[in-house]
Amino acid sequence: MSDPLLEVRALNAWYGESHVLHGVDLDIHEGETVTLLGRNGAGKTTTLRAIMGILRRREGAIRLRGRDLLALPLHKVAQAGVGYVPEERGIFASLSVEENLTLPPQVAEGGMSVEEIYSLFPNLHERRHSQGTKLSGGEQQMLAIARVLRTGARLILLDEPTEGLAPVIVQRIGDVLVALKKRGMTILLVEQNFRFARKVADRFYLMEDGRMVNSFPGHELDAHMDELQDVLGV
Ligand code: ATP
């Protein structure tokens, strides 16, 4: 197999003095969708924040196509092709959908055009003049994903995109992820809802107390159900 697109090795991370990640290893190949599972507080969000460089106190290695990300500031990580959609979505609530998609105007090379975004998310086109605050949770989530696609990111870190959304909207988000996969996008997904995640995940990683405790291919999910119920408490 080719070298991974993203390689995380022996990653430790701290919030201040609080040591949260303990030797995390993670590989993602180009075009793969990898899902992190784990209870609340297991360290999933922290893993995304550490990869993106939002959380700065880290040790170990994070490499994108062999390039060390640990030394780079956040904006350089973004320029290298990594996009982060936080759980709280991070859209500009006071701006319209279209303004969210066109600001900042300097879209990186390889970023999707607004037209492409609208063809991928027809509902954002319908809502293009609506203010961020007027959007439903699902529309806000799609807008947050769309903003990252505008930046030219090829690896998308997605934190619980289905959180708090109605089943029909969860389905719609699933369709979007499938469409992104078809375009060759690489996705690292944090998701509590593994029944949703199984539709898109090529591989699962299971986290507990800031450590990776297991990893298996998506099609083996059923064989790991007992362990999942144990670790996730579901
Ligand atoms: P959740 O689903 O609740 O977001 P998670 O698996 O993503 O869970 P993290 O948010 O990564 O977990 O949290 C991992 C640990 O880090 C937890 O013990 C949490 O209390 C702690 N933590 C998270 N954010 C901070 C912060 N800003 N400052 C200090 N500790 C934090």
| CATH number for the domain harbouring residue 126 | 3.40.50.300
Per-residue pLDDT for the chain (234 aa), expressed as one digit of tens each?
688 999 999 999 999 999 999 999 999 999 999 999 999 999 999 999 999 999 999 999 999 999 999 999 999 999 999 999 998 888 888 999 999 998 865 556 788 999 999 999 999 999 999 998 899 999 999 999 999 999 999 999 999 999 889 898 999 999 999 999 999 999 999 998 888 888 899 999 999 999 999 999 999 999 998 888 888 877
Residue from 45, 54, 190, 208 whose mutation best tests the ligand 1 pocket (most atoms within 8 A of CB)? 45
> Which residue range(s) make up the domain with 42?
31-55+74-232
Quick check: helix, strand or coil at residue 73? coil
- Output the pLDDT for position 105: 58
Which residue is closest in CA terms to ligand 1's atom 11? 43
Residue 196 lies in a domain: yes
pLDDT of residue 106: 55
CB-defined site of ligand 1, < 6 Å = 15, 18, 20, 38, 40-46
Residue nearest to atom 28 of ligand 1 (CA): 15
Nearest-atom number in ligand 1 for the CA of 41 is 12
Give the global pTM: 0.94
Does residue 40 form part of some domain? yes
User: What is the whole-number distance in angstroms between the Cα of residue 212 and the centre of ligand 1?
Assistant: 15
Q: Whose CA is nearest to atom 15 of ligand 1?
A: 41
pLDDT of residue 1: 67
Structural domain includes residue 135: yes
> What is the pLDDT at residue 157?
97
Give the number of the atom of ligand 1 that is nearest the alpha carbon of residue 48: 11
Give the separation between CA 39 and CA 232, rounded to whole angstroms.
5
Is the residue at 14 inside a domain?
no
For residue 124, CA distances in Å to 63, 96, 121, 137 come to: 34, 10, 5, 12
Task: Confirm whether 10 is domain-assigned.
Answer: no
Judge whether 6 lies within some domain: no
Q: What total number of domains does the chain contain?
A: 1
Shortest-distance atom of ligand 1 to CA 210: 14
Any domain includes 66: no
The distance of Cα 152 from the centroid of its chain, to the nearest Å, equals 14
Beta sheet of 211-217, edge-to-edge order: 82-85, 155-159, 186-190, 33-37, 203-208, 211-217
176 within domain boundaries:
yes
Query: What does the buried/exposed string (b/e) look like for 48-65 if buried means 16 or more CB atoms within 10 Å of the residue's CB?
Result: bbbbbbebeebebebbbe
Task: Supply the DSSP symbol for 131.
Answer: B
Query: What integer pLDDT is reported at residue 232 of this predicted model?
Result: 84
What ipTM is given for this predicted complex? Answer: 0.94
* Cα 46 to middle of ligand 1, angstroms: 6
Q: 3-state DSSP call for residue 67?
A: strand
Q: Is the Cβ–Cβ distance between 9 and 25 less than 8 Å?
A: yes
* 20 Cα–ligand 1 center, Å: 8
Cis bond upstream, residue 73 (ω within 30): no
Tokens, residue 124: 């954002």
Contacts for 30 with CB less than 8 Å, ≥ 6 apart: 2, 5, 154, 184, 186
Which pLDDT score is estimated for 234?
73
pLDDT of the residue at 107 = 58
The residue whose CA has the least distance to atom 18 of ligand 1 is: 41
Res 92: pLDDT: 87
Pocket probe for ligand 1: among 14, 20, 213, the residue whose CB has the most ligand atoms within 8 Å is 20
Q: Which long-range contacts (CB under 8 A, 24 or more apart) does 207-210 make?
A: 207/24, 207/36, 207/37, 207/38, 207/42, 207/43, 207/44, 207/47, 208/38, 208/39, 208/42, 209/22, 209/42, 209/43, 210/19, 210/20, 210/21, 210/22, 210/24, 210/42, 210/43, 210/46
